[in-house]
Structure formats: structure tokens, C-alpha cells
Structure 1
Amino acid sequence: MTQPRTPEQASDRLEAKAEKPEDKLPTYQELLDGAVEDTFPASDPVATSVGRHAAQPVSTGMDDKDWKLEPASARHARNAEVVAEFEDEAAARQAQDHALADDMPTARLELPSQSQREGPAATVTVVACNNTQRERAVEIVREAGAAHVEVKR
């Protein structure tokens, strides 16, 4: 159970002062409860954008249904390029289309010039702005049949 049991532990957790690393990051429900308390009795809606970063469902001592949150450092890692080489141009085009459909507008296809017959038939490069996008880009190009995948930071 990762939920704090005392008000002091809850306060330490929300202020990221907890002793154990796994207890330093508040859960979604803790942040939502805090946001509701901070807005009472105001009539403005509670900002719940933190829910977009919910990672793993958990059950805690206070809430049967809650979610662990992903640290901001995991979501906002610096940009990385996923470079995938394909033996088949059609597979490369498929990977690019899939990445574009998956909201990765920086997926670009490169075809070798007529004079360059050695090497891959096509290369797809996807710029990922966070770890989640990077992992998804790698998954897309591998599923499309990339012969070689490299992540450049």
C-alpha cells in the first residue's frame, strides 16, 4: 500500500518530502482531492489535467480506485529522434502514415536518390518530444518491419 496513513505523511507526500522514493509522488486522487479543497466554495471548475498523466491503476487505503502518476521527468524528457531504416519503401510509407495518424507530425520519409543504390530503401525519422512518444514511435516502426531502429538524443 503506497497511500500515507497519517495527515503528516499525506502532507509530506503532497509536498514531495516523503522518505521513500515511491511515496514522493502524490496519486491522481490525492491531487484531485487537494484541488477540490482549494477551490471550495468557489464555483469555478477544478482543473484536472493531471489525469492525462495517470499511469498505473492502484488501490490505496483511502481510495479503492486511484492511479499512480508518472513523474514529470519521464513525460518531459528532451527530444529524441527515432530513425528507422526499411528494406521496403511501402513499409516505410506505412510507418510514416501510422506515426502521422498517431499525432506525431514530425514523421518524415527519406528516399535515397537514384544514384544511391546501397543501403536502405527508405528511412523514416520521427522526432519524439517525450518518452511516451519515443516508445510509441519505436513500436510503430518495428511493427511496420524496420530493418534497423536507432534512437538519437
Structure 2
Amino acid sequence: MSETLTARDVFLRVIDAVPKLVAGDASQADVLAALYAEETRVEHPMAPVGDTPILTREAMRTHFAEGPGKSAASGLRDYRAEDVVIHESTDPEVVVAEFTYRGTVNGKDLALPCVYVLRVRDGLIIESRNYTNHLEGSRVFGRLDQLFAALKQL
């Protein structure tokens, strides 16, 4: 019988799999989706064009496959999570994690600061609020034109 993952364990699996996905390992979309409950709520409160919560595991799979899974920047090297600080709360289901995704793109340093607030129950993410520098992510991954076009539509 396997042991149920803690909120900390699940977070560490997320930040292990995301860089692999962004670097081009499309199989990580399934690895990541498996960390979420069938019904979940994932929010990106700082998304520049507004936030539409992601509410199911299958929607998360699609999010990973169509977003980070397809956005590997040419010239991306050594993408990883660093400066990881995990704050465990008095609620064992909740962790707050601060970290920075780092690497290089075409020889230029990249740093994407992030703060995640995760609620994990029975080893699966049931809620997550992800605070990320979306503008820098769009710049680094060559999606600024898409972002600006979307902003013009608001």
C-alpha cells in the first residue's frame, strides 16, 4: 500500500515536472494532471487578461498540453525551479511555496518568480492559486504578440 503524498510532496512533484514539460517532454502533461483531483480549482489571479479557473483534472491535462507543453522556447536551456521556500501552515492540507523558475533562453538569463498556494487532500491538489510573472513568461516564451492581441480585445 502506497503512502499518501503530503501537500509538500505534491508541490515538489509539480516543480519537478513543469521544467521537464517546458523543455519539451510532453509526457509530463499526464504526470502533472495526475497530481490533481478529478474536481479541482486552479486560479491564476495575476493573469493579465483575467483569470478563468480550471476546474477538472482533464482541463488541467489540456492546460499543460496546450500551454507549457507547446511553449518550449527555442534556445531554452537548464530550466529549473530554484530558491524554493515552502511555508507549511497550521492546516496540513495547505502549503504556500515561493520559488523562481530559472534558466537561459538564447544565452540570456531568465527568472520567473512564483508563489503557489496549494490545498492537497488525499494526495491530490483540490485547490491552487498560482501567482506568476505572466508578462515575463510571455516575453521569454515568445508569446508577447498573443498577449498584446488579447489585451486589445478587452
TM-score by length of 1: 0.24
Larger radius of gyration: 1
TM-score by length of 2: 0.24
